Chain A
């Protein structure tokens, strides 16, 4: 069985008068059911690496295979399709569409994929939200929710099309400790109970200490990639 994500000497250089190297020669592979934290100081290229892995950005050099498929030869539309099918994103700021209700936000990726009937989409979105403890908030607008609630809506939206990988960019970065803990528990459940792979960029050492695998970046380079021995929770 092929690995979920295989990065092969990925490098991303921002073209400018003085080119900035964001990610430097990173090779790594990610399997199913992994819970990975990418850590590192500010400006170490954590987020840039995540965007590369999430097909939001293209590497300057190197190759990235998703489920065995080389993505460097794909056009933008094919990448968009892969994102839709395989990947879910959670950003530091919730990035929900403010004009749509919570339920509609979660339904958006499903409607784009267009596989389910509208009642089925509605049911699936509602059940995802209920599982994340948002049962009473389906018809609210994002700005009527707290930060933690919005982030949970964002997780529900990331799960909408049942992706293999959920990529989270500082998912707890703008939350208080209680909400952070909730979101962390949810992400961990995605791995333990739903069998997803979660890759999270984080500053939060408390979270980084409790994942299965930790990738530490400095100056765009992987300086350590280690499995973390977990105490039973």
Chain B
């Protein structure tokens, strides 16, 4: 129906200012929702990226989730146990070398093993409780995000001598030590040794900067009197999204609890879901308001064009023609609004991405940052689909009404 389309476009073009207002209404709705979606998804992705970056993707510890299968269950079919809890046995991962080797054979990514124990750092009369993590410098550097956060020294510095230690900068400040100082470390076993600080790191995470100390794996084993023991294997995967699958497989294979980062941060990720709901509600509301704008403009045009409807119907145009005419007007406004909205959204995203601001480095470990924006064609498609649907509906309702108008009523009213 080229004729109907032409009539629709002529009507729209004939109402310059109103048309511009209507198109701008839709365009602002579409543009802002695109920018909003880009910003929300961008910050979410940025947040998750940081999470994924600082956390091991899968952490395998020497805990078990469920009790071991009882020997009686293997022997007797009728045997059944309930209410069993895993034994509190923190002796470390059994046969670590074999476990490590078997993981290495299939895990897509890098891995590091460590022995984590509690201890007290003592210097100048001050005692501070810390986690003492015994590591192998070469594998740890490829798995831990701390590798990139050293203010002084590095993981490699540990290898320079037997009793070296790396601590967080806040811990150093708290006990008044600096690089080169020798501090005393006391383990729960009663073992006590002097360690020389060979480096400091600053992750931005207070708990780590104040409560973690890295020593060689051997030193940690000696301190905790557990030769050859490890109680922690951390995986850094090529694809962080594969973590749950890898964790399941590792857990099935080793029997030890393997926690993917998604599980470790469940509450944070749940908060993101809530945030997304809020975001889509806001975006939907913006589009809904734009939809009402279209509704308003189309009904106004319809009422103003009542005379044209009477004329066209008297000439032999049908109700269906009239319905299509005003529906097309709504869709044309929606389409034009979408296209302008894409432009507005694009420009808004660009401007937002140029904004630079300072955040105190402690929170995220970076001093200067830009707004993270995520560009997705889906944002554009969804926003304009919504705009088109709402403008279609907004056009259709008055269109149906307009089509039913009896030309005689209008002509009588006019004469």
Interface of A toward B, CB cutoff 8 Å: 47-48, 51, 54, 56-57, 76-77, 80-85, 89, 91-93, 95-100, 108-109, 111-113, 157, 161, 169-170
Contact = CB atoms under 8 A, between A and B. Distances in A.
25 contacts: A51-B411, A56-B313, A56-B406, A56-B407, A56-B411, A77-B318, A80-B317, A81-B318, A84-B315, A89-B314, A89-B315, A91-B415, A92-B415, A95-B307, A95-B311, A95-B411, A96-B311, A97-B308, A98-B14, A99-B10, A112-B315, A112-B317, A112-B321, A157-B315, A169-B415
Contact of A84 (B307, B316, B411, B412): B316
B319 interface: yes
Nearest to B9: A99
B3 interface: yes
B385 to A, nearest CB: 30
B315 A83 contact: yes
Contact of B415 (A54, A93, A96, A98): A93
A93 B11 CA distance: 20
Contacts of A83: 314-316
Contacts of A95: 307, 310-311, 314, 411
B21 interface: no
Contacts of A112: 3, 315-317, 321
Interface string B4-19: 0000001101100000
Contacts of A76: 318-319
Interface string B307-344: 11011111111111100000000000000000000000
A92 B310 CA distance: 14
Nearest to B313: A80
Given A111-B3, A169-B415, A85 B14 contact: no
Interface string B380-415: 000000000000000000000000001110011011
Contact of B316 (A85, A96, A169): A85
A76 B414 CA distance: 23
B13 A99 contact: yes
A91 B411 contact: yes
Contacts of A161: 316
Contacts of B412: 47
A147 to B, nearest CB: 15
Interface residues of B, number: 26
A109 B319 contact: no
Contacts of A169: 411, 415
Q: Which one of B308, B311, B319 has the highest number of Cβ atoms from chain A below 10 Å of its Cβ?
A: B311
Contact of B315 (A47, A82, A99, A109): A109
Contacts of A82: 316
Q: Which one of B316, B414, B415 has the highest number of Cβ atoms from chain A below 10 Å of its Cβ?
A: B316
Nearest to A82: B316
A76 B408 CA distance: 14
A76 B411 CA distance: 18
A112 B318 CA distance: 10
Q: Which one of A47, A80, A81, A113 has the highest number of Cβ atoms from chain B below 10 Å of its Cβ?
A: A80
B320 A77 contact: yes
B400 to A, nearest CB: 14
B406 A57 contact: yes
Contacts of B308: 97
A56 B411 CA distance: 10
Per CB-CB distance, the 10 closest pairs between chain A and chain B, nearest first, are A84-B316, A83-B316, A99-B14, A80-B318, A77-B318, A57-B408, A99-B10, A95-B311, A111-B3, A109-B315
A97 B414 contact: no
A182 to B, nearest CB: 21
Nearest to A95: B311
Nearest to B412: A47
Contacts of A54: 314
A99 B11 contact: yes
Given A47-B412, A157-B315, A170-B415, 18 more contacts: A48-B408, A54-B314, A56-B313, A56-B314, A57-B406, A57-B408, A80-B313, A80-B317, A84-B316, A85-B316, A89-B314, A91-B314, A91-B415, A109-B316, A112-B3, A112-B321, A161-B316, A169-B411
A113 B320 CA distance: 15
A113 B316 CA distance: 9
Contacts of B415: 47, 91-93, 169-170
A170 B415 CA distance: 10
Q: Which one of A81, A99, A111 has the highest number of Cβ atoms from chain B below 10 Å of its Cβ?
A: A99
A111 B254 CA distance: 80
A170 B414 CA distance: 13
A89 B14 CA distance: 25
A77 B316 contact: no
Nearest to B315: A109
Interface string B281-312: 00000000000000000000000000110111
Nearest to A154: B311
A14 B315 CA distance: 24
Contacts of A56: 313-314, 406-408, 411
Nearest to A96: B311
Contacts of B313: 56, 80
B205 to A, nearest CB: 67
Q: Which one of B13, B307, B314, B321 has the highest number of Cβ atoms from chain A below 10 Å of its Cβ?
A: B314
A178 B364 CA distance: 88
Contacts of A84: 315-316
A211 to B, nearest CB: 21
A130 B25 CA distance: 45
Contacts of B407: 56
Contacts of B406: 56-57
A83 B308 CA distance: 16
Interface string B134-173: 0000000000000000000000000000000000000000
Given A56-B407, A57-B406, A170-B415, A108 B315 contact: yes
Contacts of A92: 415
